[in-house]
Structure 1
Amino acid sequence: MQSGTFDEVLGLEEQFYHDGLQQGLADGVRAGQIEGRTFGLEKGFEKYIESGRLFGKSLVWANRIPRSQQQPDDQDTTQPEAASRISPATPNQQDSLPMTLTSLPKIQRLERHLKVLHALSEPESLSTENTEEAVSDFDDRLKRAEGKTKIIERLVGEGREEVDGGPTNTDEYVHNISTKD
């Protein structure tokens, strides 16, 4: 009997282990790249949607600010004028009356914050490149735009709770819950 034959059989387990490890690593790298790309696309899409939502809010708020009768020609006219203003109608008049927006107070501070919010969330100026610098810039602009949105919501008296239809403070919320029972 030759001793080389048994060495090959005894080394089979080690060879299969090594081959399986190499194949598992290759499959893991490929699956990780696919999963990472999918996750990156999902997160990027979520961020871009949030940026678009903030941009839309800036347009609505800007159109709710009363305009003076005489506008200088050099003023930025990229924002469309509001055709109508939204206010609640009585229940029996909901279908016959057009919805109108209520005007916001003409406050210089509010206008400055709106201009900055509009510039931060403007889709044309946002980079969609997949580089470290572009992603960092996008994230920074999104955080700053969210901060400006909170400031503007406080200035105009609108908040996340009002939009969702919930009460605007916790005392009113607790009172509503306790009176339901």
Structure 2
Amino acid sequence: MAEDFDLEQLVHLEQTFYDAGYTDGFAHGRIHGLIEGRALGREKGFEIWEEIGFYEGFALTWQAIYAQQPDADQRTMHHIRHLLELIQQFPRVNPSDPKSYGLTEEVDMEKLQRLIRSRYKALCACLGVRPTLRAELSSDDHTGEGDGPDARRNPTRQVWALEEDTKRPTMHGLSF
């Protein structure tokens, strides 16, 4: 029995268990990482396309309005065309291998998104419209007090009258 006992294995016993746990944990984490990554990617992709779709709808609406006017401002039409061209360049698929989709190189989405926002702001300046960036108002900032332009400028806007609340008795006789 003394010959079967390996003292070297006993010395490295803790490292053996650590390595086995690390291997199992890595495989388990990889599976859950893929699941969570796909869910997060779907959520963020929707947010990005909601913003880009807003810009596209805005540009198409103004393009239709200006198409009916014989003396349309050429600078505004240039901004509209350029904005729509940038939006068309925005990728609509998320390929793991860009060459399989016929793409020669990867697109810098952040840079393209910044360019689209800038062109949108320039278009709004030409139109005399206040730009409403969809990315600036998150669901955490939303207070349910309306979505109009006055909602952000006047956050204390009352939704309902408070006269009835003053008549209601409160704890410790406090009045608000």
Normalising by the smaller structure, the TM-score range is 0.5 to 0.7
- CA deviation profile, 1:58-101 (whole Å, cap 9, x unmatched): 111112226356xxxxxxxxxxxxxxxxxxxxxxxxxxxxxxxx
Distance 2:50 2:155 in 1: 33
Which residues of 2 match residues 141-156 of structure 1 at below 5 A? 141-156=112-127
Q: Which has the higher contact order (CA 8 A, sep 6+)?
A: 1
Give the C-alpha shift of residue 178 in structure 1.
9.0
Picking from 166, 171, 178, the partner of 2:149 is 166
Report what 2:26 is aligned to. Answer: 25
Q: Do the aligned partners of 2:83 and 2:120 also contact (CA within 8 Å) in 1?
A: yes
For residues 52-67 of structure 1, the aligned pairs below 5 Å read 52-65=53-66, 67=68
Contact 1:113 1:152 in 2 (8 A): yes
Q: In 2, Cα distance between the equivalents of 1:165 and 1:68? A: 28
The answer to whether the aligner puts 1:115 opposite 2:81 as a matched pair is: yes
> Which 5+ residue runs of structure 1 have no aligned equivalent?
70-104
Aligned to 1:87: none
What TM-score do you get using the length of structure 2 for normalisation? Answer: 0.58
- Answer whether contact 1:66 1:106 (CA < 8 A) is retained: yes
Matches within 5 A, 1:1-181: 2=2, 4-5=4-5, 7=7, 12-65=13-66, 67-68=68-69, 106-122=72-88, 126-130=91-95, 133-136=105-108, 138-160=109-131, 164-167=147-150, 173=153
Q: Equivalent pairs: percent with the same residue? A: 27
Could you list the runs of 5+ residues in structure 2 that have no partner in the other structure? 99-104, 135-146, 159-176
C-alpha contact 1:55 1:122 (8 A) present in aligned 2: no
Distance 2:118 2:6 in 1: 72
Contact 2:59 2:80 in 1 (8 A): yes
Describe the shift of the 1:31–1:157 C-alpha distance in structure 2 as closer, same or farther (beyond 3 A): same
Alpha-carbon distance between aligned partners in 2 of 1:3 and 1:11, rounded to the nearest angstrom: 18
Going from structure 1 to structure 2, the CA distance change for 1:2 and 1:117 (only over 3 Å counts) comes to: same
Cα drift, residue 28 of structure 1: 2.2
User: What TM-score, normalized to structure 1?
Assistant: 0.57
What is the Cα deviation at residue 110 of structure 1?
0.6
